[in-house]
Structures are given as structure tokens and as C-alpha cells.
Structure 1
Amino acid sequence: MYINDHTPIPTYIAAEDRYHKMKYRRCGKSGILLPLLSLGLWHNFGDSDDFNKARTILRTAFDNGITHFDLANNYGPPFGSAEENFGRIVAKDFKQYRDELIISTKAGWDMWNGPYGNLGSRKYLIASCDQSLKRMGLDYVDIFYHHRPDPDTPLEETMGALDQIVRQGKALYVGISQYSAEDTAKASKILKELGTPCLIHQPRYNMFDRWVENGLLDVLSQEGIGSIAFSPLEQGILTNKYLKGIPEGSRAATGTSYLGSDSITPEVISKVQKLNTIAESRGQSLAQMAIVWLLRNPEITTVLVGVSRAEQLLDNIKAIENLLFSEAELKQIESILNKQTNKLTN
């Protein structure tokens, strides 16, 4: 990670009024409260990114009451570098605030070569957790997730590994990500029997990707599991970026986004423009309304945002100033979405 100038950043003292700037929601039936917005470190914390800018983003988050920082073993690039850089920032700025933070990481995607560096085996998950703790310089994480379902490893083995990680003192809670409603119910049952209930589920969810509404939200409510929605802005589509089409230099135009320019059709742009009109009538940006639209569900504990600048984060935080929708607004939004564009991508 590079430093863009040689000016030292002053010693960090967190804002005294930080907890007055954020609202919190209980995570399922647990004792944990999470901020309505959490900060994801998927992008902009790798070795090619600006270290001081990353520090500023994390400081801005905590100064505004965001206590949850979300990572994974393979965030970077390269793999592992986001955790390493986060660990450097924790050591410099957040060591005295460790007990005020919820730090999460995950394993499930490819991480190292060979048959033991991927998916959901006990060997992979426990080894990955050990590596993550070492990279971040932590004794434990607050939440350790299985990052994605593994169709080949028995669910009992994967959930048993999560339980073992908690019993070893390496994590306080466990979670799962992108599990179907059926597999979430099965995983929850196994974990409850082991004595380590599932705290949280991390699904991809936004106005254009609504698969969680086909049963998963019901399971989360029934099982008392919280949730953290990632990709709330559909990789930038639910912002003002694409209101006039695909701008030059954007990730969709350059092929550096998994969406691709073929996903941003005239129909999608038309929907985004109509949604933006509703957002403006609410005194919000489209991004802010998209975040609040997710939080309208009581099953959604927190929304995971990723930003490249502190100013973007501050703009996202303003969303919580207006959390209510009228029935007319919700009907209007639904008529635009039509529920026919449930997914832009698989």
C-alpha cells in the first residue's frame, strides 16, 4: 500500500459524539447491536491503494458511529493484503478502541494453491482463520463467516469447523454468506445443536437483485438470525453514475466490474432514472434511497457499503436521516421495478 505524501497523519482520537451520529439495530435474537451501515473492505484496501486514504476512511467511519468493519481472507489485491493493511491501521489508530469494534472476516473462496485452500472443509476454514488473525494482528475476530456454500463438503463438517473456531477462542460469533433459504435452515439447526448459534447471514441484496425475498428473509426471521446486505448499490448502478448511460472510464465500461456493459441496458437506465426522481422527491440521492429501501425490512440488520473516499461514506451515512417510506412511495418503486428484474447477474 502506498502513501501519497510524506505528511504524517496526527494521532487519532475518536470523536466523542460518535454514537450519537449512528442508529443501531439488534442482530437477530442475539445480544449484538450493529450500526445501520457497516464498512466493507472488499475494494480500496489492497496493496495498490493509498494507505492514508484507507486510514481516513476507517477513521471517518468510526467517528460517525460505524463499529463494524468487514473483511475476507482474499480481499486485496493481492489476496490477504486488505487484512494486512487493516491490521496496520488497527495497530496505529484503533488498538485502544478494539472492544468497541465488530471485526469480521471470512473464508470460502480460493485463497491458496492446492486442494485445501478453497470451499468449506474443516482444514481450510481453521487454517484460514489462523492466517487471517496473524495478518490482522488480532487475538480473535468478532464474526467468522463461511463465505459461500460448498456443494461437496458435508454441511456438518463446515458448521462443525465454525463451532470449533468459536470454542478455540478465535471468533466470538459465526455467520454464513449467500446460503439458500433451505441450506440456511439446515446450517442453523446444526449450529444450534452444537451450541454455537448462527449470528448473521450476509446475502447479496439490492433493488435489482431480490433473491432473498424468495424465502431467505422468512428463514432468518424464524431462526432469529440477523443479516447484512452486501452490494446494496448494484456495483454503482443505483447511484447517479449511470443516469445518462455508461460513462467513459467506469468499471462497467472498462470491463473491471463483473456487471459488464451488457447488463446496463436502456431498460435498466430508464428504471434508474425513474427511481432517482422518487429519491429527489424524498430529499435523498438515489444511493441513499437504495440503502434505506433495504433497511425497510426488519430482517436486514445492517447494510454493507464500500467506498473509495471518505466523502462517499459521509454521503451514505446521511441516508439514515430519512428511514421512512410512505405506502405510495413503496408502490411507486415496486411499479418501476416490476419484480421482473430480480437479478441483473447470476
Structure 2
Amino acid sequence: MSYLANPARYETMPYKRCGRSGIKLSAFSLGLWHNFGGVDVFENGRAMIHRAFDLGITHFDLANNYGPPPGSAEENFGKILKQDLMAYRDELIISTKAGYLMWPGPYGDWGSRKYILSSLDQSLKRMGLEYVDIFYHHRPDPETPLEESMMALDHAVRQGKALYAGISNYPAEKAKEAAKILRELGTPCLIHQPKYSMFERWVEGGLLDVLEEEGIGCIPFSPLAQGLLTDKYLNGIPEGSRASKSWGFLKPHMVEPALIKVKKLNELAVQRGQTLAQMALAWLLKDPRVTSVLIGASSVKQLEDNVSTINKLAFSAEELALIEEILKD
């Protein structure tokens, strides 16, 4: 049976302008970092993408190395696009990135023009697309001149292989410099994707201010700290969770020390009538500089639970003060 999108998909999802651009993004965007690779169940990923679009999520975020194995998330997404979503292509914002190790030898990693542009061509081929909406440099390269990496993004846009340029994991000063170069080239930086959550707050030390000054959107990834900011780990590490998988980034030694804070935050979330995950997502969206929050999901139900955060986004001053108190301890 072919997929038909929910006709009411735009009625409840909030959309927010991305910096000073013409683009608005859904409050939540779906990240394909985990659960969409070759090691995962294809039909589960397909069901999550259908449901995300039905709920008003328009932005689907990938990178060349997402899987595992690297490249497989783009391949799977390409199949789902071809089977189900091509009729809706102009309603979608599809992004990909280059910056981490993708193939052997000196041209398969980091930030050279050769790597960035070759990688984009490979990504487009895997997804069966003529262009992506946003193309990111995934991380700064300490050894390649920043001008070279930014000129590659500018070139991708001028070639029509990307509509907008973005950066990810750039610290404040580097982001400011990158934005200046891109602006001078005539391809302004649309968006920055940093790691940001209640447990990872480095962006508050200058980056958010830079993004505001430069008119650049912000889309945090890992908003639930790889699942720590959920009720999943309240009683230890469950079977099948990220911390239990050998290829995950969340390790058991990272879970234990955070549990006292997690339990206190969970109590506050329950008082608010939310899950801990929903409160953690709403907490990021409270900042007007945050355009959209990148959520991952392992099931349709988890996706629906996360998106229903939009039903309660507001915080009282007392709640925000209590969260600071818990996080400071």
C-alpha cells in the first residue's frame, strides 16, 4: 500500500524561523543518527519517518557516516523517499553532513574541499536526490584553512547540490569566523548544530550569543543526553538500551554518576504532568535562539511521546530555578 500523508499534519506542530532566513523549521526535527542504519529494522525506520511527517515534522537530518555501517542511514532514507515521500519532496527539509571519517586514505575525513564535495556527491547518490536542503560541515578541521572548508560549502550551494549551508560542532569563535567567510562569499550560514542538553551546556558560554548576532539558527543534537534524560535509566541499565549496546556512545560508567540528578529532574517532570524526556526537550525550546530540537527515536511510540512535548512548553520562574539548583549540585 502506498503512503498517503496525514492531511492535518500542519495543524498542531509549531514552526519557527531559522535565524534571519526565509526558512521555518518544525519545533522538532528527526535525526537519523541511530536506529536507521543497516544493523536496524528497515520497516521500523520507515514507520517512524511516516509518523514523523504525519505529525508535522518536515526536517530529516542525516550525515554521510550515519549507520552503522557508515552510509547505510542515507541508503535506507533514500529507499523510503523513493517508495513513499517523493511526492512530498518540496515539503521536506533534508540535510546531510561531511566531516568525520568516511573512506580510507587522506581524502576521506575532515575538511578539505576534495573530501567535502566528493562526500556530498556520494550522499546524493545514496539518497537518490539531486540536492539536499542543508549541507553541513560536521566539525571544524584544525589543519585545513577554514576558508577552504567554507568555500566548499559555498560551491555546493552554487552548484545547486545544496540550498543552504550549515556548520556543526563549531565553538563560538570558529563559528563567528565561519559565518563571516560564508557571508562574504554570498552564501550566509543558515544553521548551527551543536550538542546541547541539560547535561551539556557549553553553547551557553558564547555560541548562542554569536548565533543570535549573526542571525543563524540553532538545532541542538543529543537533547536527551543519549537517553540519560529519560526515565529509561531510573533503575539501572535496561537490556536493549543504548548504554547496553557495544556500538553506542553512552557507556555504563556515564550513567551511574548522573542518576541522582536524573531522579530529581524526573520528580519535577512528574509534577509538571510530563515525562522527563518531554521536560528536557521543552527546556531547550524555551530559548528563543533555539530553532528546532533534533530528536532521535527507536519506535513510533517514543517519537509520538517526544512530539507531544508541544502540549506543554512553558515553565514558571520557580521551575526554571529548581532545574538550575538540581543541575548545579
Question: Is the structural similarity TM-score above 0.5?
Answer: yes
Q: What are the Cα deviations for residues 27-66 of structure 1, in whole angstroms up to 9, with x where unaligned? A: 0000000000000111111122222111110000000000
Deviations 1:239-276 (A, max 9, x none): 0011123334533245443232212234x211111101
- Number of the residue aligned with 1:4: none
Corresponding residue of 1:320: 310
TM-score, normalization by structure 2:
0.98
Q: 1:20 maps to what in 2?
A: 11
CA separation in 1, counterparts of 2:176 and 2:42? 41
> What is the letter of the counterpart of residue 16 of structure 1?
P
Corresponding position of 2:167: 176
State which of 71, 80, 86 in structure 1 corresponds to 2:71: 80
Deviations 1:126-151 (A, max 9, x none): 00001111110101000000001100
- Give aligned pairs, total: 329
Match of 2:137 among 121, 141, 146: 146
- What is the rounded CA distance, in whole Å, between the counterparts of 1:256 and 1:336 in structure 2? 31
> How far 1:78 sits from its partner (Å)?
1.3
Are the counterparts in 2 of residues 105 and 141 from structure 1 also a CA contact under 8 Å? yes
Percent of paired sites with the same residue: 64
Contact 1:71/1:83 (CA < 8 Å) preserved in 2? yes
> How far apart in 1 are the matches of 2:200 and 2:310?
22
Separation in 2 of the partners of 1:249 and 1:61? Answer: 23
Match of 2:234 among 243, 257, 261: 243
Asked if the contact 1:255/1:261 (under 8 Å) is kept, the reply is no
Are the equivalent residues in 2 in contact too, given 1:109–1:119 (CA < 8 A)?
A: yes
Q: Deviations over 1:164-209 (max 9, x none)?
A: 0000000000100000000000000000000000000000000000
**TM-score by structure 1 length?**
0.93
1:219 equivalenced with 2:190 (yes/no): no
Query: Is residue 307 of structure 1 aligned with residue 297 of structure 2?
Result: yes
User: Secondary structure of 2:95's match?
Assistant: strand
- C-alpha change, 1:256 and 1:84, in structure 2 (3 Å) is closer
Question: In structure 2, what residue type is equivalent to 1:280?
Answer: V
Structure 2: 5+ residue runs without aligned partners? none
Structure 1 residues 101 and 130 mapped into 2: Cα distance closer, same or farther (>3 Å)? same
Shift of 1:288: 0.3
Moved more, 47-56 or 36-45: 47-56
Q: The residue matched to 1:318 in structure 2 has which SS?
A: helix
Cα separation, partners in 2 of 1:207 and 1:195, compared to 1, 3 Å: same
**Partner deviation per Cα, 1:214-237 (whole Å, 9 max, x = no partner):** 000000000000011000001111
Asked whether 1:337 is paired with 2:322, we answer no
Match of 2:264, as an amino acid?
A: K
The answer on whether the counterparts of 2:28 and 2:294 sit within 8 Å (CA) in structure 1 is: yes
Partner of 1:231: 222
Mapped partners of 1:107, 1:159: distance in 2: 12
Indicate the residue corresponding to 1:287 in structure 2.
Answer: 277
